[in-house]
Structure 1
Amino acid sequence: MDHMQNNQTCNLLNGSEVQSEAGDLDSAQIPVAEEAEATTTTSTEMSGGEAPRSPRSSPRSSCPLAVTGCISGKPSDETSGNQTEERKEAESPLNDEINTNVVRLVEFLLLKYQRKELTTKAEMLDCINRDYQECYPVIFSEASECIKLFFGIDMMEVDPAARSYTLVTALGITYDGMHHGPQGMPNTGLIIMSLCIIFMEGNCVSEEKFWEVLNKLGLCAGCKHFIYDEPRKLITEDFVQEGYLEYRLVPDSDPPRHNFLWGPRAHAETTKMKVLEFFAGITKKDPSSYPTRYAEALRDEGERA
């Protein structure tokens, strides 16, 4: 079963033609985040040892759709119509059940990550309603995409024979910031998205532009977020202190203005190519679709060799 070739996950990303290398950032949409919020809430409840269970409200779209629906769609009537049609499609009984099982699996995987435990295919199948276990490949794929895009966590197979997996922070990032989150949730996804914004904007982005993009992702300075708490503090203090971002004052600016750049720890732990590939994965494009950034990433790879 191909679950409509998994198009429900990311087809909101392809609603506009890229007008510039950073055009996909400019055309962001507000995310449908209630499923992800339900996931974080239930995952916190599970930290006390409860078995995975579905969120209180039945999801209307899968967690990956909630995550990726916020990038690369023009904020126009045409796109709004497309989103409505895709939402209706995602509300079919089969898709609704698959999405519910995706959220259940994401909850379970976050718990495993918090406990630093391996997981197996058998355990993950136990999270899925028996009537839908034949859909495991689709559910596993969408749950893996969700935790990578939203939480910055990769699923790595450690034993093909036993089909066991470990959960690690993505792109080589070694910090997850869980002790800074309101519910012990990893913040790696926000670090990676910040690095994506900076790189796609030419390695230096004004604070105004940076927050313009994050606002379209549902992240506002001074407003509490269900995963990241107050994102401005995380970004301008914690991520700067950890060395992932530079928050640089623009000389002679009045009133004072700041730019964001990659910090030394970001340069040491990840690469421009990894970040570009991550961003291209979100937008469902080939990294070479961004020729300037791709050429720069290739040069960076050569210099590191």
Structure 2
Amino acid sequence: MRTVGVLVLPGSRLFDVSVAGEVWGVDRTDAGVGPFELRLCAPGRVAAAVEPVGVVPPTHGLSGLRDCDLVVVPGRGDHLAPVPDAAVRALRSCTGTVAALCSGAFTLAAAGMLDGRAATTHWRLLDDLEAAAPKARVVRDVLFTEDGVLTSAGVVGGLDLCLHLVRRAHGADVAAALARRLVMSPTREGGQRQYVDPPLPHRPARAGIASTVDWAVDRLASPIGVADLAAHAGMSGRTFHRTFLAETGNTPGRWLQVQRVRLARRLLETTDLPVHRVAERAGLGTPANLRRRLRAELGVTPAAYRRTFRVPAA
């Protein structure tokens, strides 16, 4: 993988273009990385305004993509913007590997290149990708996918994908050397679920359920269960389950679990409490249960989550 082409369309994300430039456009032969030829390919070889600022002067027209070992497709500021027919034809004629960064997956979707394949994008755009590529298998909790073409999660996920491509083509040592130069980890733990904003407690409209929700949120560290919630609301278990589901969109048991994991995340982010104390204060009981719940919900361990998100004290 020596010749790398970047598809530059009007509204392409400058960060994504720059990621390709940092990985394949900088001379790092002194570190055993490269050399590479980087082509910036735009329709008509016309300079394209990129998002959020700037203009990218192309080095090639779209025909420059055809014989590249790798074609990188950046995301665009408007992920649903029409893709020029010429760009669709150029992508379909590529003979090398094609990889989309972040919302670049929508450009591949417009070219019909995600049909029957796994794909991902930024977590906020996953529903839109399912609508744009109904024949694709949208994967929600990964940093990148590889299934004929490659796609990445949002923003920095593009760097994860690019390092994976370097590792695949040139070996782990070269990828590790490049990661050191970029001052980043060669691989990141977990998928992108851990970066999704934790859900806020839903405020039910029905007064009896709302007061029970408030009561439970103040007592998450206590061993309260669904029977306790029903008793507080003064309902039978069956009636409470039906009413709670209608009001919040979750079963009572699932709601309790989500709120306890949310509290555990906040404690891991903002305190230095030992893991066993975080488990206790979040109502998850034991470190083993905390690890199991975080693995199930976020795909990472408590220690890995804390390393990523811990906010240092002022």
TM-score (norm 1): 0.28
**Structure holding more helix per residue:** 1
TM-score (norm 2): 0.27
Higher RCO (Cα < 8 Å, 6 or more apart): 1
Bigger radius of gyration, 1 or 2?
Answer: 2
